[in-house]
A and B are shown apart, each in its own frame.
Chain A
């Protein structure tokens, strides 16, 4: 347990980060030149960290699986980024953003980290504007804000429906500037396969060149993992096809603890599943809930007629509609947090009131907003989202309500890190969605972009120095050291094994099966029996995978099937850990809903006495049970209450 020191600075909440910065160790400019940092991932967290390290004078190597850093999945975030600027003068403050985030996370996040996040949120907006990020503006020339779930203020900055894209392009431009300068070297189309640990410290990585198949060794004084989340363990999620949990899983198996693996966010507004050929799900931004009203038919016979295609939603009069979020949560209405909105949709559909041919959908209706504001206003606000919807579903959302259903979107769990974002392996840091910090058991909308950029621009550039300050006499590492050789050998053996199985089923066949197990048993509703069953099913599926998967071709070529197989092999293990974590947490909190633990009204029921902790799982060996470590969460500055959005 001694290993799990969160290293929270002393002092009052609002002064912790200031105190930390005042007393931390720094590296002087001439020493920075002698220190190397590896950054894995080029999304918001990775690109912003790599660019900032380069500006400071460190030697940086940045790695990504895409052809260009600009394609990282941060690009797909639509709605916006939160900050406590209080430009609209509606009562926002750093404390309120902190409070909303802790409450939104159902009191399962660390106070000090979240306060720091709220504190630097304002710097992020300043930074991005200075980079030329074209945020939406009002006619007076100042920045515009909108509302997101879980908040009663408007604090979300946005760039049409492409905020993630614009922020990523900002970070990518900063990265490009440093590449030109020579402080950052870029290695794209590389996938990390192993972490190299020397004398207990992270000192390098093994990567596969995705074009040639060559296995490369890279050394550094510190390694940052910024590889995003693992929602694709469910096969169908809103994540991009290549998003994967392998880097996080590899460092877990080298000794980094994994925090809260079962905390998954199911996003309420996605386009419903429509066929078994489907490769991914598409998110409709939460910002739509600013103006859209969510409903299902009030009467079951109407719902049944809709499911059979005998009735259209526009034919159902107002008094036969059930705006169930407005009914259940009058204070927040359609803007309740994501976990609450998702569960409410599932509840209605499970009770037989769902719409669409499958009955697994609810309506998101803009009729009132169009009447109130005019079509042109709605078009200006959400035009690209409406177009995207129409392309996929072949229905015009200006004329008929959108159909939506919850889908896996984000993983709050991830690599356990302390206040400095350092993992339990010294010299190994984790940033952005890849780490577990800040969002507790449920992330609020527009907070993922905030966290990625906070970690990369404003936290790691400080905390990594505190680590590197005592590394200035450590010479560069030779990649011929036995530790590199061993790590490379492990990676190569795994590849050879996958290529030699030559079974009958494709990688995707296995992935779909894993996804179904996860969705049915480790998804929106979880219970003891289902989770125990899931663990066994995953173990059986994993054994079958290693006997019967077919990975064509060879290593020395562009081989997407091999890439997918390597990622899936890790998901097959990670999925089991998620189920174990969910099984052990005998309470409901945020996105983790244990059916055994709910109030009479069907709300999540926490057990603060027994579960106010972060579960930090420790790898103990293949086919051995992982060990649970607990980081108790201490709330000094906030009163822990039942979340109430009514």
Chain B
């Protein structure tokens, strides 16, 4: 198939960006979206032009690196998958595809379609862990955990940290990302001990980094490649409220 691509090009964080139009030809319908971009980049290199920079790595939907905003939607038109899992059979011959980076203030553009998502690491560093050291822990079966809770924790833990939720949200809110981690650890006995401090510290860090508020449009859930449910946001809100009410150290 032949396609017209309108791609956001921006040389560095401080320079102004713009859309540039490219044509690609003879793309196989079985190629993945990123393989289509590989074809374009090889052509650009051969012509002596600067190839398009984009983040990617595992190309099987788990590392969370790929982050393209395709035709106005994070990770493109399909539900429940990352950009790298989308295949060109999803598009029509002759179609024009618009490709942009994530647009959110806390995710500044580095180059072209690459953005800086270190804000997510900072949120995890604010409390997204259980404060135990290596060694000296009880036997893995010492604390039975109801299957239902373990499954809920796994649902939340499936987050790949790609940032689609932020890109999808009109307020650039990171609530779904933060809630996924808070929720995972809040339902497990291992995480309960620090649950109060955790939710408060992570939410404070999220606010400090400039992520917006949640206004319950659920765009995050709709665009999440791992289909993480907004019910985790509800759990986080409960955790946050009760932590605030019960917190002694305010």
Interface contact A130-B130, CB-CB below 8 Å: yes
B51 A278 Cβ-Cβ under 8 A: no
Q: Which of A1-9, A62-70, A256-264, A612-620 contacts B (4 or more CB under 8 A)?
A: A62-70
Q: Which of A52, A127, A159 contacts B137 (CB 8 A)?
A: A127
| A370 touches B (CB below 8 Å) | no
A180 located at the interface, meaning its Cβ lies under 8 Å from any Cβ of chain B in the complex: yes
Partner of A126, one of B59, B117, B140: B140
Interface-lining segment among B92-100, B150-158, B215-223, B228-236: B150-158
Does A331 sit within 8 A of B, measured CB to CB? Answer: no
Residues on A with C-beta less than 8 A from B73 are none
Taken together as a complex, chains A and B put the C-alpha atoms of A392 and B78 apart, in Å, by 13
> Does A87 touch B at the CB level, under 8 Å?
yes
Give the docked Cα–Cα distance between A567 and B98 (Å).
Answer: 31
| Interface-located stretch among A139-147, A338-346, A401-409, A527-535 | A139-147
> Given A127-B137, A130-B138, A552-B50, A141 and B146 touching (CB < 8 A)?
yes
Given contacts A277-B28, A560-B51, contact A132 B65 (CB under 8 A): no
How large, as a class, is the contact surface on chain B? 35 or more
Establish whether residues B65 and A67, one from each chain, have CB atoms under 8 Å apart when the complex forms.
yes
Asked if B131 CB lies within 8 Å of chain A CBs, one says yes
Cα distance, A186 to B50, chains bound together (Å) = 30
Q: State A279–B57 Cα separation when bound (angstroms).
A: 11
A123 within 8 A of B: yes
Please judge, given known A-B contacts A71-B65, A506-B42, A508-B42, whether A280 and B129 are in contact too, CB under 8 Å: no
Q: A67-B118, A132-B185, A240-B58 are in contact. Are A173 and B139 (CB under 8 A)?
A: no
For A139, list chain B residues within 8 Å (CB): 147
A135, B134: Cβ atoms closer than 8 Å: no
**Is the CB of A572 closer than 8 A to any CB of chain B?**
no
A211 touches B87 (CB 8 A): no
Within 8 Å CB of A557, what residues of B? 11-12, 111
Q: Are A55 and B133 in contact (CB-based, < 8 A)?
A: yes
Inter-chain contacts of B58 with A (CB < 8 A): 71, 73, 75-76, 240-241
Interface size on A, residues (CB 8 A): 82
- The answer for the CA separation of A172 and B123 in the assembled complex, in Å, is 13
A123 (CB) vs chain B CBs: closest residue: B135
B63, A73: Cβ atoms closer than 8 Å: yes
B65 touches A66 (CB 8 A): yes
**In the complex, are the beta carbons of A131 and B128 less than 8 A apart?**
no
Verify B45–A550 contact, CB threshold 8 A: yes
Residues of chain A contacted by B157 (CB below 8 angstroms): 133-134, 159, 166, 169
Q: Does A176 sit at the interface, judged by CB under 8 A?
A: yes
Is residue A287 contacting chain B, with contact meaning CB distance below 8 A?
no
For the complex, give the distance between the alpha carbons of A72 and B184 in Å.
21
Min CB gap B155→A, angstroms:
9
Is the pair B154, A211 in contact by a Cβ cutoff of 8 Å?
A: no
Which of A126, A141, A176, A282 makes the CB contact (< 8 A) with B147? A141
Residue from B57, B153, B160, B161 in contact with A73 in the complex, judged by beta carbons closer than 8 Å: B57
Q: Mark B36-75, 1 if CB is under 8 A from A, else 0.
A: 0011001001101111010111111111110000000000
Q: Considering the chains assembled together, what is the distance between the CA atoms of A387 and B79 in angstroms?
A: 12
Set of chain B residues within 8 Å of A131, measured between Cβ atoms? 129-130, 132, 190
Q: Does A391 contact B (CB under 8 A)?
A: yes
Indicate if the CB atoms of B110 and A177 lie closer than 8 Å: no
Q: Which residues of B contact A552 (CB under 8 A)?
A: 45, 48-51
Most buried by A among B60, B111, B118, B121: B60
Are A241 and B117 in contact, CB atoms less than 8 angstroms apart? Answer: no
Main secondary structure, interface of B, reads: loop
- Check if B188 sits within 8 Å of A274, measured CB to CB: no
Interface pair A55/B38, CB less than 8 Å apart? no
CB distance from A319 to the nearest CB of B (A): 33
**Chain B residues within an 8 Å CB radius of A70:** 64, 121, 161
> In whole angstroms, what is the CA distance A280 to B32 when docked?
10
- How far apart are B87's CB and chain A's nearest CB, in angstroms? 7
- Cβ-defined partner of B62 (8 Å) among A134, A162, A278, A504: A162
Q: Is A495 an interface residue (CB 8 A)?
A: no
**Known A139-B147, A280-B59, A558-B111; contact A126-B188, beta-carbon cutoff 8 A:** no
**Bound CA span A402–B55, Å:** 30
Q: Please, how many angstroms separate the alpha-carbon atoms of A119 and B122 in the complex?
A: 35
B38 touching A277 by the CB < 8 A rule?
A: yes
CA distance A531 to B110 in the complex (A): 44
Determine how close the nearest CB of chain B comes to the CB of A592; give it in whole angstroms: 27
CA A279 to CA B41, docked complex, whole Å = 13
- Is there contact, CB below 8 Å, between B190 and A132? yes
**Which residues of chain A have C-beta atoms less than 8 A from B160's C-beta?**
165
Which residue on chain A has the smallest CB distance to residue B38? A279
Q: A132-B153, A140-B144 are in contact. Are A550 and B46 (CB under 8 A)?
A: yes
- Check if B65 sits within 8 Å of A137, measured CB to CB: no
CB neighbours of A140 from chain B (8 A): 144
B179 in the interface (beta carbon within 8 A): no
The docked-state distance in angstroms from the alpha carbon of A175 to that of B196 is: 21
A458 touches B134 (CB 8 A): yes
Q: Taking each of A51, A164, A282, A391, which has the highest tally of chain B beta carbons within 10 Å of its own beta carbon?
A: A391
Q: How far is the CB of A281 from chain B (nearest CB, A)?
A: 9
Q: How far is the CB of B118 from chain A (nearest CB, A)?
A: 7
Interface members, chain A 148-174 (any B CB < 8 Å):
159-160, 162, 164-166, 169, 172-174
C-beta contact mask, A510-538 vs B, less than 8 Å → 1, else 0?
00000000000000000000000000000
Alpha-carbon gap, A471 to B109, bound state (A): 43
Binding site for A on B (CB under 8 A): 11-12, 27-28, 30-32, 34-35, 38-39, 42, 45-46, 48-51, 53, 55-65, 80-81, 85-87, 89, 110-111, 114, 116-118, 120-121, 124-126, 128-135, 137-141, 143-147, 150-151, 153-154, 157-158, 160-161, 184-185, 188, 190-191
Would you give 15 A-B contacts (Cβ < 8 Å), ordered by A? A68-B121, A71-B65, A73-B58, A127-B135, A132-B130, A141-B144, A164-B62, A174-B129, A211-B110, A240-B59, A241-B58, A277-B31, A277-B35, A282-B60, A391-B86
Beyond the given A132-B129, A134-B153, A166-B157, please list 8 additional residue pairs across the A-B interface where CB-CB is below 8 A.
A67-B118, A162-B62, A188-B118, A277-B38, A392-B32, A506-B42, A506-B45, A561-B51
Pairs A-B, 8 closest by C-beta atoms:
A141-B144, A173-B129, A130-B137, A134-B153, A134-B154, A129-B140, A558-B111, A55-B133
